[in-house]
Amino acid sequence: MGQLSGRLSGKVALITGASSGLGRVGAERFAAEGAQVVIADVNDGDEAVEAIAAAGGEATFVRCDVTDEASIESAVSHAVETFGGLHVLYNNAGVMIGDDDGPTNTSMETYQLTMDINVKGVLLGCKYAIPAMLASGGGSIVNVASFVAHMGAATPQIAYTASKGAVLAMTREIAVIYARQGIRANALCPGPIMTPMLAKFLSDDEKRNRRLIHIPMGRFGEPIEIANGALFLASDESSWMTGQSLIIDGGITSAYVTPQ
């Protein structure tokens, strides 16, 4: 049985890309706050489900490719059939491909794959989750964008930046469409968080230091700091917030002159 109390008590949450990284941390955080969590990922999520169960929470895994419409539809159906409804969609799945660079030397293959996962994946999640959320009495959509949706990145990554700008704009549109139907939609915009994905992209000291010098707080973020932001957006604590961007970035977007 689920926990009797918590900030997400009584809610069913579907999280894409939740078998590892930021999604895994978010899934464990949501479950600890009473949510019944659906881990939707192309990679096996049984270990994440077991970890949540061991901590006293409830979770289920469904294999899901966010670029495939039938796969997303099946994942949403799995959530409803397993837990009886859907109240939270956390569109966390995303990629940052290593050869993503400037506009003149980024391959169209890298651009297209980035857009398919980061943008099309969010749209498909919303397409199939929204009817289920309406049938469940409403809910909250959390779309992962990035601080680079608000400003250019210090390290060129044109496809990733474009994709996250698209997510931010899409989130506003969805929020307006469903504002009077009980569904909220907000964008979560992390700064650089030291996950395996970022570590792969910032593959040497020069790249890491170039990024760090732009962070006023002087450090990369921790995954739990983003999970806590997602929890706020998913919960009723943010009940009068929709179409907005929650930026958690160590002060990057506030800085004009970088502290030395």
Cα angle 250, 256, 258; round to 5: 60
- Catalytic residue, candidates 90, 160, 178, 256: 160
Radius of gyration from C-alpha coordinates of the chain: 18
Q: Residue 154 in contact with residue 209, Cβ under 8 Å?
A: no
In the residue annotation, 160 being an active-site residue is answered as: yes
In one-letter notation, the amino acid at residue 148 is: V
Distance CA 127, CA 118 (A): 15
**Residue 112 to residues 20, 42, 116, Cα–Cα distance (Å):** 23, 18, 6
Please give the order of strands across the beta sheet that includes 88-91.
58-63, 36-41, 12-16, 88-91, 139-144, 183-190, 245-248
Catalytic (active-site) positions: 160
